[in-house]
Amino acid sequence: MAGPQSDWLRSTLSAVRELMLQRLEKRPLDAETERDLQMALEELEVMWEELQGQAELLQKESERYQEFFDYAPDAYVVTDAGCSVREANRAALELLGTDRTGLVGRPLGEFVAEADRPAFVSKFVGLSLEPADRAIAWRCRLRRPDGSAAGVTITVRAIPLRRSGIAGLCWLMRPD
Amino acid sequence: MKKPEGEPPFEALLQSLRPGRAFDLRGYKRPGLMRRVRRRMQALGLDTFPAYARYLEAHREERERLLDALLVNVTTFFRDPPAWDALRREVVPRILAGKPRAEPVRVWSAGCASGEEAYSAAIVLAEAMGEDAFRGRCTIHATDADDEALARARAASYAAEDLAGMEPALRERYFEPANGRRVFRADLRGAVLVGRHDLLRDAPFPRLDLIVCRNTLMYFNAGTQAKVLARFHRALEGEGTGTGYLFLGRAEMILGSAGLFAPVDLRCRIFARAPGTFIAAAAQAARSGGSSMSRIRPKVELHRELVPLAEAAAVAYHVITDKPPPLRDSEALREVRSRVAIALANVAPLLRQENGSAVPLSSREIRERLLDPGAKPDLEGLCVRRLDLLSAVESLKAAHAAFDGTGKPS
């Protein structure tokens, strides 16, 4: 992933090194200065390698996490604090009977059966009064886009974000 | 044995370098080492590693030049000024605030090269503490694996241009002119202990409040970085505070060891030893706890591997309830101890005998024995591994439910 970027930086570094050596040839500095310059360039290369390694590690970590989330056997949905869906795993898409494009960005409440929506809203409002680490759970009925229904137990907990309060909500839905 | 990372001729070359200097290059990233060796080879017109190895055999002076090229030392005073500002603003006040009784302040500049970083740290601390307190309380270990760099660090003598970037007032206050150069003030220099130390082989310094290790870790491969970071974590217990800080270089991150440290200022690469660990909380409790002789003062000897259960329980009680522990030998304390022990037993096999071997009882048996109201549970001789305690914090918190609001067990 860091391929083209690293080539770009590498070639810039070697160009700088080349330039430096040419200049030195024309107008030699003392050996110590030349050594210092060489070392500074070498340090930049090592820094770049380190950052590149970190980027690869982060990428792998994020893929690993995505995999874990996607293949978790329970249905998970993450929404923003206003209940708009940010992401959902496979089990959630199956349970809600939709695909990713039909879900992401939509209010989760649309998938709750009409009769259960007032309760859904009041639970949702209640959640904002709970301390951040408390989860609340209740039973309700879902309504899928194809009109079919399913009873589930919803558990939801706020995802705290340091300094800026609620970052979002994490929803677990288990069929009854 | 792990198989060598690079090509065999290169590994042989590294091997041949080892007896010369007590210095281990095996944990270093191979691409960088190879690049630096190739650069030397280019300068000499040699194409292969074996040819270069033969050249090294024949020319002793090349050894020094190579090692010099391998160990990159790029350092200046207060390099990355914004990062040093963050250290001065955010970290040093916290360290000092954690030592209300003028306890020692212990710092390690790891990979200090020619000493600029160590003396920068010395200046920041002397400015914050005042010179007298700095002389009396502060120790700064300045170490590197490169003897030549260390000799310069020891001399603490710098050319005018080395100090050019420093605030003039600081330069005047901390450096004295000598032979056209500037020398770090002798009366403060005593706090800086310069010594040889190989991060990969030698034990770290204990009970540190701050480790400054900038642009050193990035030369190591990922596995070695993780090892060094684990050592740093152990070392950063703080002199009496339980929380020390780690100051890394701008390109360095804590990825594989994320659980060990929490960022204080991510952009400036300043981290704190992970908070919320049992030992940190215990040390906090120990500091804020009353010292009345009639009470057991929570105390965990931070270096001991095994903590006696009774002691762990008393500390846990204090940490969780934020109340002074009950009187020694009181019924209440015995009750508290067994309740905490029960909580610990939930995460068995954490309990150990004094010799470190696991208690030959299942966690259920331990629980049953401790719960049996008839049998006075005997906790003597039972210990908890310090590291296990860290992961048992959650259970200890659950044990909080066992205490009512008065600090006495319900």
Query: d(Cα B76, Cα B73) in Å, to the nearest integer?
Result: 10
**Residue B222: closest CA among chain A residues belongs to which residue?**
A53
- Residue closest to B313 by CA, chosen among B379, B216, B230, B221: B379
**Percent of chain B at pLDDT exceeding 70:** 63
How far separated are the first and last CA of chain A, in Å rounded?
Answer: 43
Q: Are B200 and B175 in contact (CB under 8 A)?
A: no
- Chain A positions in Cβ-Cβ contact with residue B39 (cut-off 8 Å): 38
What distances in angstroms separate CA A61 from CA A67, B10, B258, B260, B266, one per listed residue?
10, 32, 12, 17, 19
Token reading at B81: 């000024």
- For A53-57, A170-174, B168-172, which range has the lowest pLDDT when averaged over its residues? A53-57
Token reading at B287: 């500091």
Query: d(Cα B232, Cα B273) in Å, to the nearest integer?
Result: 9
3-state secondary structure of B273: strand
Which amino acid belongs to residue B339? R
pLDDT single digits (tens) B199-217: 888 888 988 999 999 999 9
Q: What is the DSSP string of B164-211?
A: TTS-HHHHHHHEEEETTEEEE-HHHHTTEEEEE--TTTSPPPSS-SEE
- Chain B positions in Cβ-Cβ contact with residue A45 (cut-off 8 Å): 32, 35
Q: Could you tell me if A40 lies within 8 Å of chain B, comparing CB atoms?
A: yes
CB B256 to CB A42 under 8 A? no
Query: d(Cα B55, Cα B66) in Å, to the nearest integer?
Result: 12
For A30-59, what is the mean pLDDT?
88
For testing contact with chain A, the best of B74, B158, B219, B255 (most A CBs within 10 A):
B74
3-state secondary structure of B111: coil
pLDDT at A113: 92
- For B32-41, B44-53, B259-268, B313-322, which range has the lowest pLDDT when averaged over its residues? B313-322
pLDDT at B19: 54
When pLDDT is cut at 50, 70 and 90, the band that residue A129 belongs to is: low
Exposed/middle/buried for B175, CB within 10 Å: 0-12, 13-18, 19+? Answer: buried
Q: Which residue has the higher pLDDT, A69 or B393?
A: A69
pLDDT at B300: 41
Query: d(Cα B351, Cα B312) in Å, to the nearest integer?
Result: 11
Q: For Cα atoms B63, B66, B69, give the angle at the middle one, nearest 5 degrees.
A: 150
Query: d(Cα B252, Cα B237) in Å, to the nearest integer?
Result: 22
When pLDDT is cut at 50, 70 and 90, the band that residue B313 belongs to is: low
- Chain A positions in Cβ-Cβ contact with residue B215 (cut-off 8 Å): 43, 47
| Residues paired with B225 in a beta bridge | none
- Chain B positions in Cβ-Cβ contact with residue A58 (cut-off 8 Å): 255
When pLDDT is cut at 50, 70 and 90, the band that residue B13 belongs to is: confident
Q: Whole-model pTM above 0.80?
A: no
When pLDDT is cut at 50, 70 and 90, the band that residue B291 belongs to is: very low
pLDDT at B94: 92
Rounded to a whole number of angstroms, the distance from the CA of A77 to the nearest CA of chain B is: 26
Query: d(Cα A114, Cα A99) in Å, to the nearest integer?
Result: 21
pLDDT single digits (tens) B63-90: 888 888 888 888 899 999 999 999 999 9
Query: d(Cα B31, Cα B37) in Å, to the nearest integer?
Result: 10
pLDDT at A135: 83
Q: Which residues of B touch A (CB under 8 A)?
A: 29, 31-32, 35-36, 39, 72-74, 215, 218-219, 222, 249-253, 255-256
When pLDDT is cut at 50, 70 and 90, the band that residue B147 belongs to is: confident
For B95-107, what is the mean pLDDT?
90
When pLDDT is cut at 50, 70 and 90, the band that residue B11 belongs to is: confident
- For A151-155, B30-34, B241-245, B387-391, which range has the lowest pLDDT when averaged over its residues? B387-391
Host H or E run for residue B351:
strand B351-353
- Chain B positions in Cβ-Cβ contact with residue A2 (cut-off 8 Å): none
What distances in angstroms separate CA B54 from CA B12, B38, B64, B141, one per listed residue?
11, 15, 15, 39
The pLDDT of residue A14 is above 80: yes
Q: How many CB pairs under 8 A join A and B?
A: 42
Rounded to a whole number of angstroms, the distance from the CA of A40 to the nearest CA of chain B is: 6
Query: d(Cα A153, Cα A105) in Å, to the nearest integer?
Result: 22
pLDDT at B202: 85
Query: d(Cα B71, Cα B36) in Å, to the nearest integer?
Result: 9
pLDDT at B119: 97
pLDDT single digits (tens) B331-366: 666 666 666 665 555 544 456 666 666 666 665 666
The pLDDT of residue B306 is above 60: yes
C-alpha torsion sign, points A114, A119, A121, A123:
negative
Q: Which of B9-23, B122-136, B190-204, B376-390 has the highest mean pLDDT?
A: B122-136
| HSE-up of residue B278 (Cα within 13 Å, Cβ side) | 27
3-state secondary structure of B42: helix
CA B151 to chain centre: 24
Question: What rounded mean pLDDT belongs to chain B?
Answer: 77
Q: Which residue has the higher pLDDT, B346 or A7?
A: A7
CB B72 to CB A42 under 8 A? yes
- Residue closest to A160 by CA, chosen among A124, A137, A127, A138: A127
The pLDDT of residue B406 is above 70: no
DSSP label of A76: E
For B96-101, what is the mean pLDDT?
88
pLDDT single digits (tens) B149-159: 999 999 999 99
- Chain A positions in Cβ-Cβ contact with residue B251 (cut-off 8 Å): 47-48, 50-51
3-state secondary structure of B93: helix
Residue B269 dihedral angles phi and psi, to the nearest 5°: 60, 45
Q: Could you tell me if A46 lies within 8 Å of chain B, comparing CB atoms?
A: yes
**Percent of chain A at pLDDT exceeding 90:** 40
pLDDT at B371: 54
Angle, helices B278-288 vs B309-321, to 10°: value is 70
Question: In sequence order, what E strands does B197-275 have?
Answer: 210-213, 245-248, 261-265, 270-273
pLDDT single digits (tens) A156-167: 887 766 544 456
**What number of residues does chain B have?**
410
SS3 of A120-164:
HHHHHHHHHHCCCCCEEEEEEEEECCCCCEEEEEEEEEEEEECCC
What distances in angstroms separate CA B331 from CA A145, B326, B327, one per listed residue?
63, 9, 9
How far separated are the first and last CA of chain B, in Å rounded?
Answer: 56
CB A57 to CB B255 under 8 A? yes
pLDDT at B108: 97
pLDDT at B290: 32
Token reading at A21: 């050596």
